[in-house]
Amino acid sequence: MIKIIPSIDIVDGKCVRLTQGKFDEKKVYDNDPIAVAKRFAEAGIERIHVVDLDGAKAGQVVNYKILETITKETKLKVDFGGGVKSDEDIKKVFDCGAHQASIGTVAVKNPKLLLNWLQKYGPEKIILGADVLGGIVRINGWVNPTEIKLFDFITNYQWHGIRYVLCTDIEKDGMMKGSSIDLYKSIRKQFPDMRIIASGGVSSIEEIKQLDKIGCYGVVIGKAIYENLISLEDLVKLSNS
């Protein structure tokens, strides 16, 4: 069964959601991300995706204390992204208990550094963050476009041993108008051995079932949980089915 991965996005130490990655369109859902994580854990969720949006903006990890508290006070497996740009950052993230680190900007701007991390920590600890708009990779918290096509990006790192890819369709993110099923179908067809994690726009249990059917490894769900379109109980039932 597909891995269910609720998302906690952090700005100013608070749990927020953005719309298409725009900081000026943020909505605060809870002042305490740790309390949110605990609610997820108590409901029976096993893993979460934590995004340090402050870190993405600052160019270094900022909210590592929140990560550390979540991993100490729950049994959640946390994949952590946002601002992981240096050896010090990734060491801090793993020292604070992250199960995996999602790496996007460094994968574009400093491939040698990411390859060093793959060698040091192993492919089970690193997720390639592929944030795309119109099939083109974006970096620095989705702000800056590159000239890199999504499939070229994944292919390059597949050769170097990457096994996990978290692909976010920026156009869909936070819109709650549905996931890019066709995009993930095409990725799965091109990269059948990769563990693909879908993200962006997921708004129903039915979509999650579709993503499972096409072979996605996991799905990140954010706004649909906070806006009560999908209940934690239903997600846990689905993951146990």
Homologous superfamily of 3-239? Aldolase class I (3.20.20.70)
What does the pLDDT read at residue 51? Answer: 94
d(CA 196, CA 215): 8
Q: What share of the chain is helix, strand, coil (3-state, %, to 5)?
A: 40, 30, 30
Strand positions, DSSP E, 12-60: 14-19, 22-30, 47-52
Given the residues 54, 89, 131, 173, the one annotated as active site? 131
9 flagged as catalytic: yes
- Model confidence pLDDT, tens digit, residues 140-198: 766 677 889 999 999 999 999 999 999 988 876 655 667 889 999 999 999 999 999 99
| CB-based contacts of 158, cutoff 8 Å, min separation 6 | 191, 194
Positions of the chain with pLDDT lower than 50, given as ranges: none
**Of the residues 9, 52, 79, 173, which is catalytic?**
9
Q: What digits encode the pLDDT tens for the residues 227-236? A: 999 999 999 9
pLDDT at site 15: 92
Per-residue burial over 126-148, b if 16 or more Cβ lie within 10 Å, else e, is bbbbbbbbeeebbbbbbeeeeeb
